[in-house]
Structure 1
Amino acid sequence: MRHAIWSILLLTLLCGVCSAATLSVNPAESTCVSGETVDLTVLVGDVSNLGGFDIDLRWNPAVVTLDTEAGNVTIGPLFSGHVNNSAVYTQRGRIRVAAVNATLDGVSGSAPLFTVRLKAVDDTGASTSVSPTVNNYGFLNSTSGEDITVSSITGATITTKKSNVIEARIAVPSNQVITGQESRITASVVNRRGTETSPLDINVSIVNGSGIMVESWNCTGETIPAWGRFQRELTWTPEDAGTYNIRVNVTSGDHVSGTQNYTTTVTAREYTLAFTNDYVYGPWNGRSSVGSWFYMGAYVNASQSGNIRFNITAPDHVEVDGGRNQTRYLYASNWNYVGVRMRSNTPGQIAAGGIKFDIAANGKADSVNGTKILIWIPSIQVSSVNSTSADSDATFDMTYNTLHTNNT
């Protein structure tokens, strides 16, 4: 078949005079996203009596490749049809196309020779020239069989569009936030490629349950280094209780793939903090011996988990284990037990309210008074070692033996 094609190209009918022609590729400039295709047509101009052609077309296969779908090469209408003959041979980064026109007059003026469909395989913004070359058989004159001179050859350029592969995320410390209190947001965009990104426009917005945007931030023209990360710490204060969607959106003048949009949902609630039953639990029977540790505590209702300030007010002679100003972590529950260990070396009664608990967090506070506590001295066993007689006017001394104790 190959010899037959080239033989047809060499056939001449009559002697005549050759004319100069031009060769070009259209469109001269094109851009293409990786995976998409572009059609390029090889055109002849200023030609007379063109009976056949034999042309190479070359490109950088790292940038584009010949599409594999049917119709990837189409011969021009003046060289196709059942009375004409054509041949196409492909290699990596190259295609050779030859065809003849079977009429005696050939083709004159301008005409498309063939069209190829190339697919972009690069996404870094690289370019490749697409260059035609006239092969040995060149342009043949249909009436003389001689070569037609080509006065100029103009190729084309395909530039791929840079593609940014990213992963955008929104992170929050908790999906439960408190109205009137500042909350943190972390917006991040990770570059998943080993090349710097194009300038990116990064928008973070907060939309309430009614679809109304209540807050937004814009970071424009941000470039992220190879395998690098963009990160911003943002703060906002929800004014009303309800559900909020926090979104990040990434756009660019160049193609962007990966995770361009990401949304996380948080719920804002009114914070409450109070003692559950306004009662402080103390030692059994409201008594503790001198120098002994005793416990006092109460239940607290918190609408959201987190730390609170826990302050203990007590007489100076009372020692508070852990100090009088403490921090406690509470869960979102009505039954958080908050207690403390105390002791005193001073006997006597601590009146109700002499020991007091105060709690505070997120602008809320509550207090409760403790019950009365008796600090008592344990009983001491004694026995006399002598005896005496006395009347109402007499004075006397007696001696006792006691058990050893530090509290006498």
Structure 2
Amino acid sequence: MNRVYLDNAATTPLTNEVIEAMVASMKEQYGNPSSTHSIGQEAKTKIEEVRRLVANALKVQPGEIVFTSCGTESNNMIIKSCVEHLEVERIITSPLEHKCVAETCLDMKKRKGVELVYLRPNEKGDLDLNKLEELLKSSEKKTLVTLMHVNNEIGNIYDIERIAKLCKEYNALYHSDTVQTVAHIDLDFSKIPVDFASCSAHKFHGPKGTGFAFVRKSTGLKALITGGPQERSLRAGTENVCGIVGLGKALELSLDHMKEYSEHMQEIKDYAIERLSEKIQGVKFNGRSAEKEHSLYTLLSVLLPYKNPLLGLQLDMKGIAISQGSACSSGAGKPSMVMMSILDEDEMDVCTPMRVSFSHLTTREEIDVLVNALLEIESIDKNN
């Protein structure tokens, strides 16, 4: 069976160049980067090379890049440290955030008594930034705003530059989950005054278990994981040298080929919209997913005009990997918070969300395989 992988927003496959760079690092930079001897310092040098690469890409200082295990750790570290060490008393967020942000905010409310305020989206997944300004004006409490750059389920792009400037105007801290956008969109943090951002290498063909947090020096953020001076004393523990090397190689390749890759993925996404619209009567696209100017080229959120909670499993049996927009938690079959925020009850009762996400390796033929499989499944369901 030929396998079709269309779940790149969840993770991307490692490229051969990244694998080769990581294997070479495991063989050659095996020393502890904190050791003072030359073998240890060779590993430390590699880490610092990648740190400079990341910093240059984001137009920030190398000392503002903290290597972590993933975006989830970065987001936890930033939000919890803002409350623990920077005296944040109020968090403004939205129901569209990734679970690692949403659950961390709830944890801070329960354990630390932080006021939690939600900026509610409309049916297209848009956020009202005039309402955000009203919320920022409405309280003297020290506030953290945590709003993502691109939504991982519907692909909407949010205006982080305007959000960051509003936060600066009203003396609030701003954290943005940029896991879906690092290496896919040019980010210039010398012009966008975000205080914190996060990244996972496996979203752009790097290794799992490696990411970074951007922490602007002026914020004074402190470590949650203590026990050593690693990562500018912001994240103790021996660094994952080969993982960081893999992140660096994947980022370098993505930056070098960004125009080529983005054009290819946008063309594949346009083709998917065309084929789905043509073959499946009544299909819709969630949020701004089908709008080129307002959504990221890497993913398409589809609303199929029939109810089928087993769709992901049925496609998997045909060798096709996708993600269902109504992500289940612990087998509860409950729609995700994102879908509950933008769809009405009637749509959730009779429709099936599905996320299709692309990489530079995705082909038109794979989209055809998906569409044909959906038609087969729909036909079987109708005849049963």
* Common fold: TM-score over 0.5: no
Larger radius of gyration: 1
Q: Larger relative CO (CA 8 A, sep 6+): 1 or 2?
A: 2
Greater strand fraction, Structure 1 or Structure 2? 1
Q: Where on the TM-score scale, by shorter chain, does this alignment land: which range?
A: under 0.3
Greater helix fraction, Structure 1 or Structure 2? 2
TM-score, scaled to structure 2: 0.18
TM-score, scaled to structure 1: 0.17
